[in-house]
C-alpha cells in the first residue's frame, strides 16, 4: 500500500497533513509559499488523494503508524482537522521540532466534559447520511467548513475543486469518521513538550475556537491565534494572515525539537 508524498523546496522539514475527505492538494498555495524556505512534505492520507486505500486501518493509532515513516525527525508538523489529531499522536512517539494545529482539537464529539465539540446527535446524523449518499454528505461537510466565513463562496469553490481532483475512498472515509467519533486525545496533551501553535477560525462550526482555546490551556508550550471572520479552512480563506502567523511562529523556534 503506497502513501503519496509530494516533496518540494530545500531547508528545514515541514510536513503537511490534510483533513477528512480531502488530500494534500488542498494545501497547494500554502505549500508553494513554504517551499521557498523549507523542504515541504505534503502527504496524502491513505484512501485520500493519490495514496492507496489501506482497509486494514481501523484506528487513529494505526493511521498514525502508517504515516510515521514519511515524517522526518525534527520536522515541523502542520495538521489541519483530522491531520491535527495525527500530528498530536506523532508528537508523542517521535522527535519533532514543533506542531501547528489548524482547526484541530483532541476530542471531536462533545460530552459533559468537552461541551464545545460537535453535538453527538449532529455527528450521528452526519454518519448515517454517509451511508445513504456519500457524495452529498461530503459536499454538505464542505459547506459546513465555510459557514460563517467572510470568503465562504471562494473558499468553498477551492475545496470543491480539490475534492474533484481526487475523490476519497468510501471505506476509508467511514473508518476515519469512526476515528473522529471515538477519539479522545486529551490525555496526550500534557506529554507534548514541543512548541505548538494552535490556529482557529473565529466562526469555525466544526472545531469550535473555544475547544481550541481549551486545548491551548491543557498544553505546556503552546500559543493560540484566532483568525477573525474565518471558518474551518482558514489557510484557504485567510491565506496571508495564516502565513504571517505560521512564519512568525517558525522563526522563533529552536533548531531542534524534543520527544
Encode pLDDT of 102-130 as tens digits: 999 999 999 999 999 999 998 999 899 99
Strands 5-8 and 222-227: unpaired
Instruction: Output the CA–CA distances (angstroms, integers) from residue 208 to 57, 102, 160, 232, in the order listed.
Output: 28, 11, 22, 9
Catalytic residue among 23, 48, 232, 238: 232
Q: Is 81 marked active-site?
A: yes
Give the tens place of pLDDT for each residue, 133-186: 999 999 999 999 999 999 999 999 999 999 999 999 999 999 999 999 999 999
Q: What is the percent of the chain where pLDDT is above 90?
A: 94
Side-chain-side CA neighbours of 258 within 13 Å: the count stands at: 9
Of 207, 127, 135, give the one whose Cα is nearest residue 175: 127
DSSP one-letter code for 53: P
Confidence of residue 1 (pLDDT cuts 50, 70, 90): confident
Mean pLDDT, the chain, integer: 95
Q: Is 51 marked active-site?
A: no
Q: Is 204 marked active-site?
A: yes
Instruction: Output the CA–CA distances (angstroms, integers) from residue 256 to 50, 96, 250, in the order listed.
Output: 31, 8, 12
* Beta-carbon contacts of residue 12 (< 8 Å; ≥ 6 apart): 38, 39, 74, 75, 76, 97, 250
In the structure grid, which three cell numbers stand for residue 242, read together?
495564516
Instruction: State how far the Cα of 75 lies from the Cα of 169, in Å rounded to an integer.
Output: 28
Q: Are the C-beta atoms of residues 90 and 68 closer than 8 Å to each other?
A: yes
pTM > 0.75: yes or no: yes
Strands 76-80 and 13-17: parallel
Q: Which residue has the higher pLDDT, 112 or 254?
A: 112
DSSP one-letter code for 96: B
Instruction: State how far the Cα of 104 lies from the Cα of 26, in Å rounded to an integer.
Output: 16
Q: Which pLDDT does position 257 carry in this prediction? A: 53
Give the tens place of pLDDT for each residue, 42-56: 999 999 999 999 999
Catalytic residue among 204, 214, 216, 237: 204
**Would you say residue 242 has pLDDT above 90?**
yes
Any idea what the Cα angle at residue 218 is, between residues 212 and 224, rounded to 5°?
A: 40
Q: Which pLDDT does position 256 carry in this prediction? A: 63
Proportion of the chain in helix, strand, coil states, percent, rounded to 5: 45, 15, 40
DSSP one-letter code for 169: P
Catalytic residue among 81, 158, 214, 222: 81
- Start-end of H helices in the chain: 28-34, 60-67, 82-91, 120-132, 134-146, 152-165, 170-182, 186-189, 209-217, 234-237, 239-251
Of 139, 47, 41, 53, give the one whose Cα is nearest residue 87: 41
> Cell 477519539, residue?
183
Amino acid at each position: 500500500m503506497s502513501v503519496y508524498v509530494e516533496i518540494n523546496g530545500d531547508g528545514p522539514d515541514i510536513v503537511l497533513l490534510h483533513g477528512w475527505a480531502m488530500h494534500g492538494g488542498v494545501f497547494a498555495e500554502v505549500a508553494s509559499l513554504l517551499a521557498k524556505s523549507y523542504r515541504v512534505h505534503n502527504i496524502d492520507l491513505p484512501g485520500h488523494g493519490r495514496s492507496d486505500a489501506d482497509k486494514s486501518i481501523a484506528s487513529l493509532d494505526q493511521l498514525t503508524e502508517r504515516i510515521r515513516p514519511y515524517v522526518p525527525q525534527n520536522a515541523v508538523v502542520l495538521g489541519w482537522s483530522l491531520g491535527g489529531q495525527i500530528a498530536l499522536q506523532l508528537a508523542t512517539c517521535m522527535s519533532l521540532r514543533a506542531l501547528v494545529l489548524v482547526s484541530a482539537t483532541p476530542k471531536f464529539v462533545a460530552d459533559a466534559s468537552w461541551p464545545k465539540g460537535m453535538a453527538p446527535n449532529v455527528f450521528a446524523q452526519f454518519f448515517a447520511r454517509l451511508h445513504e449518499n456519500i457524495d452529498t454528505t461530503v459536499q454538505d461537510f464542505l459547506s459546513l467548513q465555510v459557514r460563517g466565513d467572510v470568503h465562504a463562496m471562494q473558499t468553498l469553490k477551492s475545496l470543491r475543486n480539490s475534492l474533484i481532483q481526487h475523490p476519497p475512498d468510501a471505506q476509508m472515509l467511514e473508518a476515519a469518521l469512526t476515528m473522529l467519533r471515538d477519539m479522545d486525545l486529551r490525555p496526550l496533551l500534557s506529554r507534548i513538550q514541543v512548541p505548538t501553535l494552535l490556529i482557529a477560525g473565529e466562526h469555525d462550526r466544526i472545531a469550535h475556537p473555544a475547544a481550541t482555546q481549551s486545548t491551548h490551556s491543557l498544553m505546556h508550550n503552546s500559543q493560540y491565534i484566532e483568525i477573525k471572520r474565518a471558518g474551518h479552512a482558514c489557510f484557504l480563506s485567510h491565506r496571508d494572515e495564516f502565513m504571517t502567523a505560521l512564519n512568525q511562529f517558525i522563526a522563533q523556534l529552536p533548531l531542534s525539537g524534543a520527544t
